[in-house]
């Protein structure tokens, strides 16, 4: 499901960055229109679980209030469950009562662009968050029984070995938090790759990188680093341009990627009690 188009933020790696789309305005669907689609899909196909993939569904306080007021009127949480993307800095300002209302309205999991455990790299990404805020928001969500899917980028331009280690610690801290609360935290980790039109693309090409080389996407084979067939889920997103953009060699980036992916896979196969 898509509840809106456009994004007011300017994360430097993202194709939806506002500076990469200056001619696009933000458009938000009317709540009644969204609910009509939920009901139509249920009536025609029996669907009871939905995923909102736009950036703004849980990314603007006003929009959250409008949507949840409508969801409450239509008793959506009694009939459906749903996942959505969210903004950490926005959810940091949401009250406990508002989180309770999200749960009652059927929210099951929020996908968050956590990206890094290094505040220095988060600033370079223009994420407008820090690691402490991300941990605080994740803790509050899982305490309310809301799952978290965190996205992380390894090998961002300028990333040092200390920055990489901070991200690994951050992910494991988040797993430890999840082990003590009802909600779960899943880490989805990827190697950095540049996209045309993004702020970081402009920075890289201005620094002398060949645009053709930045577009030479290729598959990443993590087999030698311990990945196996059982871990294959989102392999279509495991691609790279084969360029080292930070201070950590690509083999080390990929070894770390495989290790974190393997640990997440093991968590997926077990229970929280097993992980703890």
The CATH number of residue 36's host domain is 3.20.20.70
236 assigned to some structural domain: no
222 assigned to some structural domain: no
190 assigned to some structural domain: yes
Confidence category of residue 133, pLDDT binned at 50, 70, 90: very high
Residues above pLDDT 70, as percent of the chain: 93
Tell whether the model's pLDDT for residue 229 goes beyond 60: no
Q: What is the pLDDT, as a whole number, of residue 275?
A: 47
Distance CA 134, CA 157 (A): 21
Element (H, E) at 108: strand 107-115
217 assigned to some structural domain: no
Confidence category of residue 239, pLDDT binned at 50, 70, 90: confident
**pLDDT single digits (tens) 79-118:** 999 999 999 999 999 999 999 999 999 999 999 999 999 9
Confidence category of residue 160, pLDDT binned at 50, 70, 90: very high
130 assigned to some structural domain: yes
Confidence category of residue 163, pLDDT binned at 50, 70, 90: very high
239 assigned to some structural domain: no
Domain that holds residue 56: 4-203
79 assigned to some structural domain: yes
Burial class of residue 10 (count of CB atoms within 10 Å of its CB; 0-12, 13-18, 19+): middle
Distance CA 15, CA 28 (A): 19
Confidence category of residue 221, pLDDT binned at 50, 70, 90: confident
Q: What is the pLDDT, as a whole number, of residue 225?
A: 62
Name the residue with higher pLDDT: 226 or 218. Answer: 218
Element (H, E) at 275: helix 272-275
Q: How many domains is the chain built from? A: 1
User: Residue 156 in 3-state DSSP?
Assistant: coil
- Residue range 11-22: average pLDDT? 92
Confidence category of residue 222, pLDDT binned at 50, 70, 90: confident
Q: What is the pLDDT, as a whole number, of residue 276?
A: 44
Tell whether the model's pLDDT for residue 272 goes beyond 60: no
- Average pLDDT in the chain: 92
Q: What is the pLDDT, as a whole number, of residue 11?
A: 96
Q: What is the pLDDT, as a whole number, of residue 227?
A: 61
Instruction: Name the residue with tokens 């956590």.
Output: 114
Q: What is the pLDDT, as a whole number, of residue 254?
A: 93
80 assigned to some structural domain: yes
- Residue range 163-172: average pLDDT? 98
CA distances from 258 to 178, 183, 220, 265, 267 (A): 21, 24, 11, 10, 14
Tell whether the model's pLDDT for residue 36 goes beyond 50: yes
CB atoms within 10 A of CB 179: 17
Tell whether the model's pLDDT for residue 205 goes beyond 50: yes
Distance CA 214, CA 231 (A): 27
- Residue range 68-81: average pLDDT? 98
Tell whether the model's pLDDT for residue 226 goes beyond 70: no
Element (H, E) at 67: helix 61-73
């Amino acid at each position: 499901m898509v509840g809106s188009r456009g994004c007011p933020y300017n994360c430097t790696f993202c194709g939806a960055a506002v500076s990469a789309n200056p001619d696009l305005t933000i458009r938000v669907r009317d709540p009644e229109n969204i609910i009509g689609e939920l009901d139509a899909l249920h009536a025609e196909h029996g669907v009871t679980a939905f995923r909102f993939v736009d950036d703004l569904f849980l990314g603007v306080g006003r929009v959250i209030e409008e949507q949840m007021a409508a969801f409450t009127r239509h008793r959506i949480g009694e009939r459906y469950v749903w996942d959505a993307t969210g903004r950490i800095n926005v959810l940091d300002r949401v009250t406990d009562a508002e989180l309770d209302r999200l749960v009652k309205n059927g929210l099951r999991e929020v996908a968050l662009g956590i990206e890094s455990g290094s505040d220095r790299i988060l600033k370079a990404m223009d994420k407008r968050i820090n690691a402490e805020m991300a941990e605080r928001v994740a803790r509050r969500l899982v305490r309310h029984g809301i799952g978290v899917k965190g996205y992380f980028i390894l090998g961002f331009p300028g990333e040092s070995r200390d920055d990489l280690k901070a991200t690994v610690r951050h992910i494991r801290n988040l797993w430890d938090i999840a082990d003590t609360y009802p909600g779960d935290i899943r880490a989805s980790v990827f190697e950095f790759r540049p996209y045309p039109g993004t702020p970081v693309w402009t920075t890289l090409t201005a620094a002398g990188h060949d645009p053709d080389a930045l577009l030479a996407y290729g598959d990443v084979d993590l087999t030698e680093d311990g990945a196996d067939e059982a871990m294959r889920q989102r392999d279509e997103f495991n691609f790279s341009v084969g360029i080292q953009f930070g201070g950590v060699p690509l083999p080390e980036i990929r070894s770390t990627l495989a290790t974190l992916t393997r640990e997440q896979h093991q968590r997926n196969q077990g229970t929280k009690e097993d992980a703890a």
